[in-house]
Amino acid sequence: MEESEKVREWIRKEVQDWDDELVCRARFKAFSGQRSDWEPIYLFWRNLILTIARQLGLFIIRPSHLKTHWFNRGGLTPLCLDDVLFVMYNEGEIVPTVDVADPTSGRLSQIFRRVTSSVLGLASSTPTPQLLVSHERLVLTPLLKDKAVQIVEGLSECHWNSWCIVTMKRFRDLCGGPFEGSAILSHLSAQGKARYLSLPNRGDLFEGVKVSISASSVPSVSSLDRDVLHLNWTRERLQQQLDVIDRRCETLRKSALACLHSGNKKVALRHARELKLANESREKCANFLNRVVEVLDFIANAELTKKVSEAIQIGAKAIKENRISMEEVEDSLQEIEESIDTLKQLENVIESTPCTQLRMMKKISKRSSRN
C-alpha cells in the first residue's frame, strides 16, 4: 500500500468528522485574526502531522506530499497548511534539512556555510511561510529526537561497551536512509553523543560513526577506532559475499536435484561440481570473517576491563598478532570476487550449446587450475 493510501485510510479511521463538510470547511480555510482565533485549528493540523509521521515511522516530511498526498480532499488542500508549518518552524518543531549541520564536512566548512548563508541572505532565521514550504524536505525535531533515542537503544542491545563504532552504511540503514542518517548524526553530534570518523584507503574513504551508548559523552576518535572501523567494514563486506555465495549454492543445489530427477545426470554432475567450487569459496570467506570477528570481540572485551590507553595497545597487538592488514583484506576480497566471477561463467555454460559448453568448461578449468 502506498504512503498516500495509508494516510487516507488512517485519517478516515481516526478522524471521525473528516468527511463533515462544515467542519472540513473551517479546518481548510486560511488563518485570520489573532492566534487565539486560529490556534485550535493549528493544533489540529500540527498534531495530525506529527501523529501521521509517527505512524509511518517518518521524521522527515515533504511539504509537497502534505498538499498533494496526505491532505488532498477531492482536489482541495488546506489553505492554512503553509502557516501551520511556519508556526511549527518558529516553535522549533521543524527544521529544513538544508539547515541541518553536516558533521562529515568538518567544523571549518560548517562555519563557512553559516557565514555564506548570512552574506547571501539565505539563513533560515527569518523565512516566510512560502519559502519554508519550498524546501524539499523538513525535519520534525520531536520525532527526530525520539528516533535518535531508538537508534542508541538499538545499538546498546548488541554492544556491551560504553561506546560503539559502526560503518556509515549501517548507521544510515538503521536511521532509514542518507537524509535521515545525516539528521540523526547531526543531532547526536550536537549532544556530544556521536562523532564522525573516516579512514582513507587506496583512493576510497571508509566512513563511520562512533556513538556513545551510555550516559557519558562519546570519547575522542583514536587510531584504534579507525582500525575497528576498517574491521567492521571488512566484516560487512565479507558477510555480503557470504550471502551472495549462499544464494548461488542454493540455486545450484536445486538445479542439480531437478536435473537428477529428470534423468539428466551429466548436467546434474556439472551443477554438483559448480556447487563444490562455491562451497570452497564460502569456506574461505567464512574463515576470514571469523578471524575478523574474533579480533573485534577481543578489542571489545579489552575495553571492558582496561583503561582506554591500555585498550588501544591491546587492540593494536591483537591486530598485529592475527596478521590482518589492509592489503590482506583487499587481496582476500579480490580473491573471493574472482571466485564468484568464475561461478558466474560456469552458469553461462549451462545456457550454451553442447559443443560450446565443452570448450568453455575446458577454458574455465584451466584458468581455475592456474589460480
**What confidence score (pLDDT) does residue 61 get?**
93
Q: How far is CA 232 from CA 60, 71, 161, 215, 350, in A?
A: 28, 44, 16, 24, 37
**What confidence score (pLDDT) does residue 43 get?**
95
DSSP structure class, residue 67: I
The topology under which CATH files domain 145-212 is Arc Repressor Mutant, subunit A (1.10.10)
CB proximity list for 62: less than 8 A, separation 6 or greater: 136, 137, 138
**What confidence score (pLDDT) does residue 367 get?**
44
What string of pLDDT tens digits covers the 371 residues of the chain?
577 788 888 888 888 888 888 888 888 899 988 898 899 999 999 999 999 999 999 999 999 888 888 988 878 889 999 999 999 999 999 999 888 888 877 544 443 444 444 443 444 455 788 888 889 999 999 999 999 999 999 998 887 778 889 999 999 999 999 999 999 999 999 999 999 998 887 777 889 999 998 888 888 888 888 888 988 998 998 899 899 999 989 988 898 888 888 888 888 888 888 888 888 888 988 898 888 888 888 877 766 665 555 555 666 666 666 666 666 666 666 766 666 666 555 555 444 444 444 344 444 444 444 44
DSSP structure class, residue 167: E
Q: Is 208 within 8 Å of 167 (Cβ atoms)? A: yes
**What confidence score (pLDDT) does residue 332 get?**
67
At 329, which amino acid appears? V
DSSP secondary structure letters along 312-342: HHHHHHHHHHTT--HHHHHHHHHHHHHHHHH
Burial 32-44 (b: 16+ CB within 10 A, else e): eeeeeebeebbeb
**What confidence score (pLDDT) does residue 151 get?**
94
In the chain, where the domains are located? 1-91, 145-212, 223-350
**What confidence score (pLDDT) does residue 186 get?**
93
Cα gap 311→299, rounded to integer Å: 7
182: left (phi over 0), alpha (psi -120 to 50) or beta: alpha
